[in-house]
Chains A and B, each alone.
Chain A
Amino acid sequence: MQVKFYSGNIACAEGAIAAGCRFFAGYPITPSSEIAEHMALRLPQVGGIFIQMEDELASMAAILGASWGGAKAMTATSGPGFSLMQENIGLGAMTETPCVVVNVQRAGPSTGMPTLVGQADVMQARWGSHGDYEIIALSPSSPQECFDLTIRAFNLAEEYRVPVIVLMDESVSHMFEKVIIPPKEKIRIVNRKKPRVPPDEFLPYKADDFIPPMACAGEGYSVHVTGLTHDEKGYPQATSPEVQERLVRRLCDKIRKNERKMRDIEEYEMEDAEIAIVSFGTTARSAKAAVKFARKKGYKVGLIRLKTIWPFPDEYFESLDGIKKFLVVEVNYGQIKLEVERNVGKNRVELLPKMGGEIHTPEEIYKKIREVLQWK
């Protein structure tokens, strides 16, 4: 075990290396550039490859290529760059390419506030590319979690064969804190499923449990990868509604039906809570402080912190019958709020938004808790 003093960005890069990432393609953008810089320094030391690409389209495409070459690959960006990556993220979802995309959220839209915090890319992470697909997104609250969740992101990407998004925010990316690096053998690593049948029996997109095994070119198996609608053989069937139906259903269901396994929620003071704050990322730290203070005053308030944001834990929220009000605290104008409303009904949800540039203070949240208590 090692104890380090890392920023969220450095912890994320180190987490990637610990998870087995040996390929990074990226493009400078504040506030994520330190991840690329650290990878440029570290990857050559561990036999990996760092490429600075000419833009974010290229960065995202390069990691798809690297993943098909058998590498665990990652890129890191922020708002405008994340927008440019969207087409290729959709390509990754369609071709079921394991990879990790770090989006250090800054305040938008457009160039917005390049050096300051935002949490407004939550819906973009889910719906950014065209067409129907499902994606996984994780949200760390501390540099330690930047390390841990980046490892988890790689594991989920390999297991479910999908681009996994690490939705950091500027505050956590630049925050320095203690990070505990466990010994190598204590870190759980998942690798993509490989075909077990002989090459002539292999169908690259035939999946018995939603997720087909993945062969790379040069391993003796037939490899045909396409962004067109494709059948189990991997061949384009771009005029067949039946193949489209089968494929898109599976792409979505492999994530939807496994939501329970990916669920990662921190519950704090939730046992007897009547009001639950729902938050994620750095904002959840202020929320926790507000809950502590409210508890001291005798209010029955708890915190639900989402570490896995997508797939959204619908069943979990449906089961929370005892909660009278959900107070969603996020640095946007109500994105996760929509998801909570969808599950528990509009009349049980309150929003404490912030448009970006700073996170909420515990005082602001506490004040809002008192308001909500008066209404309930």
Chain B
Amino acid sequence: MNIKDLPDEDYFTPGHTACAGCAAPAIVRNMMKIFGKDTIVYTPANCLLVFSGTYPHLAWKVPYLHEAFENTGACISGIARAYKKKGRKVIALGIAGDGGTYDIGIQALSGAAERNEDAIYVCYDNEAYMNTGIQRSGATPYGAATTTTPAGKKILGKLEHKKDMAEIMRAHEIPYVATLSISHPKDFLEKVKKAKETEGFRYLHVLSPCPTGWRFDPSKTIEIARKAVDSGMWTLYEAEYGEITKIYKPKKKIPVAEYIKGQGRFRHFTEEMIEELQRWVDRKWKRLYGEEP
């Protein structure tokens, strides 16, 4: 599957109010082209809801539900079961941000995965609570400055590393887990298509660079997404029933120092902090690729 094979029909349309350079609309628009019209979308509180789900900026041409922050996994469970009972084939699609997935939503998500509900869960991960004004989340990388982990004299940004959510989902041994990046469109579209064709609980995790929260030039979104993959800050793979079945390995690994350059959230980084982040990346790299970086 390639970009030129995508249908012309859009189910996520222009006219929304996302920030310039936001990756989320590109993620959602291209996913929706593949999922198609028989999709019911559920989102909890997140930027996507605010910029595409409020009148008069509604961008959705499919049924759209917005409910509370913590219940994406539970709500898509209900949608999926109700339509199954009716005998109608629809995709119950939940799209949550990293806060709604890593933090407040993990209980409902884990429950839905364990019951192997016939639904698709998408986490678009912009690595902080951007909607409420850039507060840290379990997805925020080490050292990043947010409004609740400010880089000051006593503490220099977030002290903890990013939680590996995709691995937590893989441990649920569900039919399909994949990590995606909009910088790799062919890989992205193939994974979305595969998710559509699989039955049972499917989890897609997309990195969503955020110019407002990460503080970078809005023209650099795709470039930063690519650097995230090339540095190992973001890894691309897919897993079926807990087994990794496909891994994308960057041709040339770049140091994290190159990835963090140009992002305001890392501006205060010291040499030691870069080393710490690099160590984290190297550990992750070794785990996934089974070799020293």
Which residues from chain A sit less than 8 Å from chain B, CB to CB?
Answer: 27-30, 33, 36-37, 40-41, 44-45, 50, 52, 54-56, 80, 84, 110-111
Contacts and interface: CB of A to CB of B under 8 A. Distances in A.
B133 A111 contact: no
Contacts of B110: none
Contacts of B133: 28, 30, 33, 37
A58 to B, nearest CB: 9
Interface of B: 45, 66-70, 99, 102-104, 106, 129, 132-133, 135-136, 138, 147-150, 152, 154-155
Contact of B135 (A41, A52, A55): A52
Contact of A30 (B68, B102, B132, B155): B132
Contact of A54 (B138, B148, B150): B138
Contact of A28 (B66, B135, B150, B154): B135
A44 B99 contact: no
Given A40-B149, A44-B152, A44-B154, A55 B132 contact: no
Given A33-B132, A33-B147, A44-B154, 15 more contacts: A28-B99, A28-B129, A28-B148, A36-B148, A37-B150, A40-B149, A52-B135, A52-B136, A52-B148, A52-B149, A54-B103, A55-B103, A110-B68, A111-B45, A111-B66
A77 to B, nearest CB: 12
A367 to B, nearest CB: 31
Nearest to A110: B68
A83 B184 CA distance: 41
A80 B69 contact: yes
Q: Which residue, of A40, A41, A50, A110, has the highest number of chain B Cβ atoms within 10 A?
A: A40
A55 B108 CA distance: 13
A40 B69 contact: no
30 contacts: A27-B104, A28-B129, A28-B133, A28-B135, A29-B132, A30-B133, A33-B133, A33-B147, A36-B148, A37-B135, A37-B148, A40-B147, A40-B149, A40-B150, A41-B150, A41-B152, A54-B102, A54-B138, A55-B69, A55-B70, A55-B104, A56-B104, A80-B68, A80-B69, A84-B70, A110-B67, A110-B68, A111-B45, A111-B66, A111-B68
A84 B45 CA distance: 15
A80 B69 CA distance: 9
A55 B68 CA distance: 12
Nearest to B129: A28
A27 B152 CA distance: 21
A25 to B, nearest CB: 11
A54 B104 contact: yes
A33 B135 contact: yes
A63 to B, nearest CB: 16
A84 B155 CA distance: 30
Contacts of A36: 135, 148
Nearest to A39: B148
A111 B68 CA distance: 7
A27 B147 CA distance: 12
A40 B70 CA distance: 24
Q: What 6 pairs between A and B have smallest CB-CB spacing?
A: A55-B104, A54-B103, A28-B132, A28-B135, A40-B148, A44-B154
Contacts of A37: 133, 135, 147-148, 150
Contacts of B148: 28, 36-37, 40, 50, 52
B248 to A, nearest CB: 30
A29 B45 CA distance: 10
Contacts of A84: 70
Contacts of A29: 132
A339 B106 CA distance: 40
B155 to A, nearest CB: 6
Contacts of A27: 103-104
Nearest to B104: A55
B217 to A, nearest CB: 25
Contacts of B69: 55, 80
A29 to B, nearest CB: 6
A1 B18 CA distance: 45
Contacts of B155: 44
A299 B221 CA distance: 64
Contacts of A54: 102-104, 106, 138
A40 B147 CA distance: 8
